[in-house]
């Protein structure tokens, strides 16, 4: 898919120094899952944003600094929660493995 590069989707045109990026890929085994939904929940568990994964299973959020939870929903899979810490000026990479 367009923009699918190692380590996540292209960040061309985004000033990463000002952003707290959380990104990654959803996998089932070693296969990318292109029809999953990844939700970003804040430190209180409140929904903040949701994105569908790309054809290569990738997703990205521009979060604030702090602790977040990624909740991944996909067909024929139980939801998977992953804790992640975001920091301005850095990119937090997360791989979500579906059972």
Partner 1 sequence: MTRENSLVSAQWVEEHLDDPKIVLIEVDEDTSAYDKGHIKGAIKLDWTTDLQDQVRRDFVNKQQFEELLSSKGVSNDDTVVLYGGNNNWFAAYAYWYFKLYGHQDVKLLDGGRKKWELDSRELTDELPSRETTSYTAQEQDHSIRAFRDETVAAIGTQNLVDVRSPDEYAGRLLAPAHLPQEQAQRGGHIPTAANVPWSKAANDDGTFKSDDELRQIYTDAGVDWDKDTIAYCRIGERSSHTWFVLKELLGQDNVKNYDGSWTEYGSLVGVPVVLGDEKGEA
Q: Total number of residues binding partner 1 (CB under 8 A)?
A: 29
Instruction: For the chain, give the longest Cα–Cα distance.
Output: 38
Which string of b and e fits 48-75 if b means at least 16 CB within 10 Å?
eeeeebbebbbbbbebeeeebbbbbebe
Of 6 and 18, the one with the shorter C-beta distance to partner 1 is 18
Only segment of 24-32, 41-49, 91-99 that touches partner 1 (CB under 8 A): 41-49
What's the CA gap between 32 and 16, in Å, rounded?
25
Query: x/- contact string, 47-76, with partner 1 (CB under 8 A)?
Result: xxxxxx--x----xxxxx------x-xxxx
Q: For residue 66, which phi and psi values (nearest 5 degrees)?
A: 140, -165
Nearest approach, Cβ of 89 to partner 1 (angstroms)? 12
Q: What is the closest distance, in whole angstroms, from the C-beta atom of residue 81 to partner 1 in the complex?
A: 11
The position carrying tokens 């493995």 is 97
User: What is the binding site for partner 1 (CB under 8 A)?
Assistant: 14-15, 18-19, 35, 37, 39-40, 42, 44, 46-52, 55, 60-64, 71, 73-76, 79
């Amino acid at each position: 898919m367009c923009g699918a590069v190692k380590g996540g989707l292209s960040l061309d045109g985004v000033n990463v120094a000002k952003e707290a990026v959380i990104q990654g890929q959803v996998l089932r085994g070693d296969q990318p899952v292109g029809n999953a939904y990844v939700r970003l929940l804040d430190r209180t568990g409140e929904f903040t944003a949701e994105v569908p994964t790309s054809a290569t299973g990738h997703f990205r959020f521009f979060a604030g600094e702090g602790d977040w939870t990624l909740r991944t929903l996909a067909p024929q899979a139980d939801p998977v929660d992953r804790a992640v810490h975001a920091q301005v000026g850095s990119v937090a990479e997360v791989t979500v493995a579906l059972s």
